[in-house]
Amino acid sequence: MVVRRRQSIPDQTVRSSELTPEKEEELSLAAPKLGLVLSILAMFLVPFFYFLFVRYRMEIEIHLRLSILVCVAISLCGFVASALLIPVAARYLLRRNLFGHDLNKRGTPQGATKVPEALGIVTGIVFLVVAVSVQLAVSFLQYNLTADSDWLVEYNAALACICFMILLGFVDDVLDVPWSVKLVLPLFAALPLVMAYAGHTSIIIPKHLVPFVGQSVLDLGWIYKVYMIMLVVFCTNSINIHAGINGLEVGQTVVISVAILIFNLIQMGASTDPDYKKAHVFSIYIMLPLLTASLGLLAFNWYPSSIFVGDTYTYFAGMAMAVVGILGHFSETLLFFFLPQVLNFLYSCPQLFGIVPCPRHRLPRFDPQTGLLIGTSDMNLVNLFLRLFGQCTEKSLCIRLLIFQACISFTLLICLKIWLMSAKMHPT
């Protein structure tokens, strides 16, 4: 749920547009927090390149490594484009009255500022251009996506789904569509994915359950396809409800996509099956542009936010990650990375389904005196953390939640590494 409602009530619109002529020149976004974002970028690129060029030098073929390098280069251009276009777009969005007020600063002067909304549209468009450019560059350099390659189907299906989701997200941000539409349309957006999924629909039964089930491999058929659609609807909406703090939506996406990228490299290094590697390269081609475009957005959205990302961003990010999880065949791992979102969703269920009263925004309470957030009894992770660990500033709360996200992801990655290493030492 996007928590910063723009003032769309008409009489306020008339007044604010009467005010706009003088204020239009006043919009100057706070400078982007480039130091922070570039350090995050460096912190990611160092282990990424280590895995790519040192640790898995032997295991990953040179053509794959070079194509990933091309992808990194183009994605970094996307980062620059994102950071440059956001201030430009912010002016246009503000002029069209697409703004909100920061509810977590209500009572302070910052709470009265008009914060441009729906900047996710810039991220989304930059992502699409970068993703297509990567596709073209890699095929032009003839690395592994040729015009008649199998992965072209998956790639185009991914683009179509993600693009449709960005469109729906932006239409939602502009028109404020009812929630029933918000739930139904992602179902249709997920359908090209279902068509393009040309993989197994069977799951491996855990060994200790085999006696009960009677089989070691169970073919789910169309149920698996339903699961895929549910996964898409879940990923898009779960990021949307684990929100409300400056930088939380983009921050969690950055953490999860870094984890996915490292996971992709580890799996490529551990495998000898070319199709398996291709699946993970495909994921990298989508996650890298997502990561860099999101970092460009985070430069403006990190606390204190000078822009808001809108449902456009959360839908886009959720869809992108669901797409790579499904088409890269690691959706179970994806759900593990999404554990905080899963917990937040489960914990929120009573309020979401109306069993417990659900206010418009399930935000913490802001105390203008102390500048700290206090947890309400709303049932989501944001308030839970405040209740468990005490009041704190919005920035520290966001950092705590992101650390929680990172810990989960990296615990999983470390367990995976250990498991892989032990499998090598004791081959079965």
Partner 1 sequence: MAVRRRPSIPNQTAAPPNPDPGGDPQPPNAAPSLDQFSLAPPKLGLILSVLALFLIPFFYLLFVHYQVESDLRYYISICVALSLVGFVFTVGLIPVATRYLLRRNMFGYDINKRGTPQGEVKVPETLGIVTAIVFLVVAIVLQLCTLTADSDWLVEYNAALACICFMTLLGFVDDVLDVPWRVKLALPFFASLPLMMAYAGHTSIIIPKPLVPYVGLSVLDLGVIYKVYMILLVIFCTNSINIHAGLNGLEVGQTVVISFAVLIHNLMQIGASTDIDYKQAHAFSIYIMWPLLTTSLGLLAFNWYPSSVFVGDTYTYFAGMSLAVVGILGHFSETLLLFFLPQILNFLYSCPQLFGFVHCPRHRLPRFDTQTGLLTGTNDMNLVNLFLRLFGRCTEKSLCIRLLIFQALSCLMCFGLRYILAGWYK
Note the residues at the interface with partner 1 (CB under 8 A).
8-11, 13-15, 17-18, 20-21, 24, 89, 92-93, 95-98, 121, 124-125, 128-129, 132-133, 135-136, 139, 147-148, 152-153, 155-157, 159-160, 163-164, 166-168, 170-171, 174-177, 185, 188, 191-192, 194-198
Q: What is the dihedral of CA 109, 112, 114, 118, to 10 degrees?
A: 100
Under a CB-based contact definition with an 8 Å cutoff, are residues 18 and 24 in contact? Answer: no
Residue 296 CB-density burial (10 A; 0-12 exposed, 13-18 middle, 19+ buried): buried
- Rank residues 196 and 268 by Cβ distance to partner 1 and give the closer one: 196
The CB-of-18 to partner 1 minimum distance in angstroms stands at 4
Of 131 and 406, CB closest to partner 1: 131
As a whole number of angstroms, the distance between CA 205 and CA 363 comes to: 41
The residue (of 6 and 105) whose beta carbon lies closer to partner 1 is: 6
| Residues 396, 248: Cα–Cα separation, whole Å | 11
* Shortest distance (Å) from residue 307 CB to partner 1: 14
Angstrom distance (rounded) from CA 270 to CA 425: 13
Residue 310 CB, shortest distance to partner 1, in Å, is: 12
- Tell me the chain's radius of gyration from C-alpha atoms: 22
Q: Which is nearer to partner 1, 83 or 125 (CB)?
A: 125
Specify whether the CB–CB gap between 286 and 320 falls below 8 A: yes
- 188 or 419: whose CB is closer to partner 1? 188
Is the distance from CB of 327 to CB of 196 less than 8 angstroms?
Answer: yes
Q: Angle at which helices 381-389 and 339-352 pack, to 10 degrees? A: 100
Residue among 154, 231, 164, 223 at smallest CA distance from 193: 154
- Cβ atoms of residues 235 and 165 within 8 Å: no
Nearer to partner 1, 11 or 273 (CB): 11
Cβ at position 163, least distance to partner 1 in Å: 4
Least distance to partner 1, CB of residue 184, Å: 10
Q: Please identify, using beta-carbon distances, which residue of 158 and 413 lies nearer to partner 1.
A: 158
Considering the complex, what minimum distance in angstroms separates the CB of residue 21 from partner 1? 5
Q: What are phi and psi of 243, to 5 degrees?
A: -150, -175
Q: How far is the CB of 245 from partner 1 (least distance, A)?
A: 27
